[in-house]
Amino acid sequence: MKIAYIVLAVVLIVFAALAPILIAIFGPNEWIPRMQATAVAYAAAFSCVGSILFIVMTGLLALIAFQLKNNVVPLLEKATDTMQTVKGTTQFVSESVVQPIIKTAGAVAGARAMVQTLMRRNNDSNGSAP
C-alpha cells in the first residue's frame, strides 16, 4: 500500500513537470504564446501544490494542538497534586519536627543565659568581698 502511494506521487510529479514542457513543445507555433502557456501551467501547478501543502500543514498544526491539549492538561493536574502533597509534607515537618527543635533550642538558650547570669552574680559576690 505504501509503495502504491509512492508510485502515485512519482507519477504525479513527473506529469506535473512534463505537462508544461509538452505544452511548450507541442503548443502554438509562435514562441511567445508557448512560453506564456508554459508559465501559466507552471504557475497553476505551483499554486495547486502550495494550496495542498497549506491544507496539510494546517491539519498537522491542528493535530499537534489537540495532542498538546490532551497531554498537557493531565500533566498540569499531576503537577498541582504534587505541589499540594509537598505543601502538606512541609507543614507536617514544620509542625512535628522543626517547632519542637526551636522550642528546645530556645529553652536551652534561656537556661544557658540563666546559668551565665547566676555564675556572674556568684563571681561578683565572691570577688567583691575581700
pLDDT in tens, 56-69: 999 999 998 888 88
Q: What is the mean pLDDT of the chain?
A: 82
Give the single-character DSSP code of 60: H
Mean pLDDT calculated for residue range 47-76:
88
Q: Which of 46, 48, 39 has the alpha carbon at shortest distance from 20? A: 39
In this structure, are residues 45 and 20 in contact, taking their beta carbons and an 8 Å threshold?
Answer: yes
Domains of the chain, by residue range, sit at 2-91
pLDDT mean over 97-122? 83
- Whether the per-residue pLDDT at 54 is higher than 90: the answer is yes
Residues 6+ apart with CB under 8 A from 42: 20
Predicted structure pTM score: 0.42
What is the percent of the chain where pLDDT is above 90?
A: 12
